[in-house]
Amino acid sequence: MSRVEDIEYFSDTLKALQLLQQLGYELFVVTNQSGVGRGYFSLENVYVIHKQLQNDLREFKLTAFKDFAICPHSPDDACECRKPSGKMITDLMEKHHINPDLSYMVGDKLIDAEAGMNAGIQGIIIRQSTTSDFPFFKTLLEFANSLKK
Ligand SMILES: [Zn+2]
């Protein structure tokens, strides 16, 4: 995704983010953007998208994402940061003094959960079904609800 007008939210995603924040979680974005490395779009495009996400969150009375970690490399670059590497996550945890035991890496792909595992935090997959051993939920809201005590 490289265009602001292509941003779409699942109906209950913002509600899920709101619930996570009410539960005291800080939100981070950890993203592979190999389209940059492949020359499909620029890092500037990615920043524009992230800025829009921040604006959208504020518009919905949410706290903005605390930080973003971007891997702009293509798989051929053999970089250290590209998920499923845990490096982007460990860097964020170090920078913001995040407790790994109280954190989750949530994504819709196996590599997201694997990146969490590689960073020493619990990986969660959001999709309709999965054959992996990671815990999965059908929606982000379902996951957020599972954290309520
Ligand atoms: Zn990278």
The range of the structural domain enclosing residue 12 comes to 4-98+136-146
What is the pTM assigned to this prediction? Answer: 0.93
- Tell me, in angstroms, the distance from the centre of ligand 1 to residue 12's CA: 31
pLDDT tens string 48-59: 999 999 999 999
Does residue 116 lie in a domain region? no
Question: Does residue 43 carry a pLDDT above 90?
Answer: yes
Q: What is the CATH number of the domain that holds 48?
A: 3.40.50.1000
Does residue 117 lie in a domain region? no
Neighbours of ion ligand 1 (CB under 5 A): 71, 73, 79, 81-82
Does residue 119 lie in a domain region? no
Does residue 65 lie in a domain region? yes
pLDDT tens string 118-142: 999 999 999 998 889 999 999 999 9
The four Cα atoms 48, 43, 92, 9 give a dihedral, to 10 degrees, of: 40
Question: Does residue 11 carry a pLDDT above 90?
Answer: no
pLDDT tens string 80-108: 999 999 999 999 999 999 999 999 999 99
Does residue 120 lie in a domain region? no
Question: Does residue 36 carry a pLDDT above 90?
Answer: yes
- Tell me, in angstroms, the distance from the centre of ligand 1 to residue 46's CA: 14
Measure the CA–CA gap between 23 and 21, rounded to whole angstroms.
Answer: 5
Place of tokens 């929606």: 139
Does residue 35 lie in a domain region? yes
- Tell me, in angstroms, the distance from the centre of ligand 1 to residue 79's CA: 5
**Structural domain count, the chain:** 1
- Tell me, in angstroms, the distance from the centre of ligand 1 to residue 145's CA: 32
Does residue 63 lie in a domain region? yes
Please choose, from the candidates 77, 67, 68, the residue with its C-alpha nearest in 3D space to the C-alpha of residue 43.
Answer: 68
